[in-house]
Amino acid sequence: MKIENKLSEIKKHLGLELVKCDYFTGIQNHNGKEYFNIITKNAISEDSLYYDLRSLIQVGILSKIEPNGYKRIALFF
């Protein structure tokens, strides 16, 4: 439910429907910080989505984002 709420906030703010990662599912933990993964259509280096999502850090929707694979982005709560 926590992931769906965050995805809903992102959709409301940016108008984007993000796709959850089907390989690393659910909430993950890295150094005590919770995150979940989304999948991009293109490689992260070729996709503006990464930069769009960075704007959500400044408004407090996400605490940070990090590339987490070729087409995977980790979104931290």
Q: According to the model, what pLDDT value does residue 34 have?
A: 97
Instruction: Give me the tens of pLDDT residue by residue for the chain, a chain 77 residues long.
Output: 899 999 999 999 999 999 999 999 999 999 999 999 999 999 998 888 998 999 999 999 999 999 999 999 999 99
- Model pTM? 0.92
Q: According to the model, what pLDDT value does residue 47 have?
A: 84
Helix (H, G, I), strand (E, B) or coil at 55: helix
Residues 6+ apart with CB under 8 A from 57: 63, 64, 65
For 21, the token pair is 């990662």
Q: According to the model, what pLDDT value does residue 46 have?
A: 87
How many angstroms separate the most distant Cα atoms in the chain? Answer: 30
Residues 6+ apart with CB under 8 A from 54: 65
